[in-house]
């Protein structure tokens, strides 16, 4: 399952994931057919462009680990480093 346990439980509370069943007092299970159907539904909505995809973070606004501004060597020739502009 490509989801964390906490994510599954949260999705279950919101109705976005099938409800679990108690097999024993300490063992919970999900119906495999319902889980696979839900994952396929999510896959289809993603492929059709209906899924809400969060944008990636803007790394240029980082405060704790700012981007390196120095030039980094990309190729060494006979002890001489050639640089790319950052």
User: For position 33, what pLDDT does the model report?
Assistant: 92
Q: What is the pLDDT of residue 74?
A: 53
CA gap 18, 8 in Å, rounded = 9
pLDDT for residue 86: 47
pLDDT by 10s per residue, the chain, length 86: 577 888 888 989 988 889 989 989 889 898 999 988 988 888 888 777 776 667 777 777 777 776 666 665 555 555 555 555 54
Contact 31, 18 (CB under 8 A): yes
Return d(Cα 10, Cα 36) in angstroms, integer.
18
| Residue 9: both structure tokens together | 């439980």
- The domain ranges of the chain are 1-53
For position 76, what pLDDT does the model report? 52
For residue 57, give the DSSP letter.
Answer: P
């Amino acid at each position: 399952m490509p989801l964390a346990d906490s994510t599954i439980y949260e999705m279950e509370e919101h109705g976005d994931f099938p409800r679990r069943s108690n097999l024993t007092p300490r063992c919970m299970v999900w119906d495999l057919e319902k889980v696979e159907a839900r994952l396929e539904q999510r896959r289809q909505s993603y492929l059709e462009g209906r899924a809400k995809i969060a944008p990636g973070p803007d790394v240029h606004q980082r405060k704790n680990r700012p981007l390196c501004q120095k030039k980094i060597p990309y190729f060494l020739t006979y002890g001489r480093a050639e640089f790319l502009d950052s």
